[in-house]
Structure 1
Amino acid sequence: MNMLKIVAVPMHKEGRKFVAIFAAITVALSFLWEPLFWLGCGATVWCYYFFRDPVRMIPQNDTLVLSPADGVVSLIEEVVPPAELGLGQEPVTRVSVFMNVFNC
């Protein structure tokens, strides 16, 4: 497995401004105290990792059900949809996916 593909995944374009802000704060902190620079570097890398947008390989098969998100399916149940959705009172299947900050 290529480690570069794991570490240097593409970043979503909306995250660039946040990473730039983190990097600018890191540079400012470097003038105050060197350990703050290293903490800022860690925060900047974390911000980059938070906005990662990995390349997905989506299987093309009509018999598969694909999730719209990474994570763990935590609950599958029949529920009546909320009235504001206008879907009527017929029960539908709800699939709940739990995501933490490490999921994309």
Structure 2
Amino acid sequence: MNKPPYPHPLIAREGWPFLAGIVIISVLVSIWWPGVSIIFWLLSLFVLQFFRDPARVAPEGELAVLSPADGRIVAVEEVHDPYANREAIKISVFMNVFNVHSNRAPVKGTVVSVNYFAGKFFNAALDKASLENERNAMVVRTPEGHVVTAVQVAGLVAKRILCYAKPGDALYAGQRYGFIRFGSRVDVYLPPGSRPRVAIGDKVQATSTTLADLPAAVLEQQS
């Protein structure tokens, strides 16, 4: 197994301001209202667990598609990929507020495009969230020529999608490329012929879980 360098151990950098702020407030409340401070310390623990960002080891396999997020599988279906304009197999991972919200690249490859779409904030577990909610789509081409699309989708209370990847960037499988705050989902669109290895209801972990295997032969050339 290959364990690449991990830039943000333990606590995601996106959470540092939030964690520092709530801890300072908790300390101040403890000084003046000790009895009330328990509420703020519990909130501090919630913020701490929400922004945890553990290092993960990716399984071997050039054709393996890794989960881009922690959570639960809510869709495995054949659909049209509107971001790469091709037919595809979509696998969706729903993240609740207790899951790790750091997003990882599902495959090794070069970023072809990154596009942000403003939208609504329906419950991310609903099917309509994929195309109607605020979202950010990243299309990646693997060294073998496969096209894989990863779409960060905002949820009911998620108000900020962060994506650090840019067109032309080279990503390794499992590389941290973004973050979504407070409940959301990630949709992964795979080329026809891919073999899903998860089912609806399965719990998955970013990088550690293989969602599917790409086909041995490249069946489409859209990007």
Structure 1 equivalent of residue 87 of structure 2: 91
Instruction: State whether residues 26 and 36 of structure 1, in contact with CA within 8 Å, keep that contact through their aligned partners in structure 2.
Output: no
Quote the offset at 1:56 in angstroms: 0.4
Question: Unpaired segments of 5 or more residues in structure 2?
Answer: 1-8, 101-223
State how far apart, in whole Å, the 1-side matches of 2:39 and 2:73 are: 35
Quote the offset at 1:63 in angstroms: 4.7
Q: Which structure: greater helix fraction?
A: 1
State how far apart, in whole Å, the 2-side matches of 1:27 and 1:16 are: 16
Structure 2 equivalent of residue 68 of structure 1: 68
Instruction: State whether residues 76 and 94 of structure 1, in contact with CA within 8 Å, keep that contact through their aligned partners in structure 2.
Output: yes
Question: Unpaired segments of 5 or more residues in structure 1?
Answer: 1-8
**Runs of 4 or more consecutive aligned structure 1 residues displaced over 2 Å after TM superposition:** 62-65
State how far apart, in whole Å, the 2-side matches of 1:70 and 1:34 are: 36
Change (3 A) 1:17 1:32: same
State how far apart, in whole Å, the 1-side matches of 2:41 and 2:78 are: 46
* SS class of match (1:11): coil
State how far apart, in whole Å, the 1-side matches of 2:35 and 2:57 are: 40
Structure 2 equivalent of residue 102 of structure 1: 98
> What TM-score does the superposition give when structure 2 sets the normalisation length?
0.38
Structure 1 equivalent of residue 45 of structure 2: 45
- Aligned-residue Cα RMSD (Å) equals 1.8
* SS class of match (1:15): helix
Quote the offset at 1:73 in angstroms: 1.6
Structure 2 equivalent of residue 17 of structure 1: 17
Structure 1 equivalent of residue 177 of structure 2: none
Quote the offset at 1:71 in angstroms: 1.2
Q: What's the CA shift string for 1:59-83, capped at 9, x where partnerless? A: 122353311111122211111233x
Aligned partner letter, 1:29: V
Q: Which structure: greater strand fraction?
A: 2
Quote the offset at 1:30 in angstroms: 1.8
Aligned partner letter, 1:80: H
* 2:29 corresponds to 1:29: yes
State how far apart, in whole Å, the 2-side matches of 1:14 and 1:79 are: 33
Q: How many residues align?
A: 92
Q: Which has the larger radius of gyration?
A: 1
Quote the offset at 1:29 in angstroms: 1.4
Quote the offset at 1:40 in angstroms: 1.3
Q: What's the CA shift string for 1:42-73, capped at 9, x where partnerless? A: 11121111100111011122353311111122
* SS class of match (1:80): strand
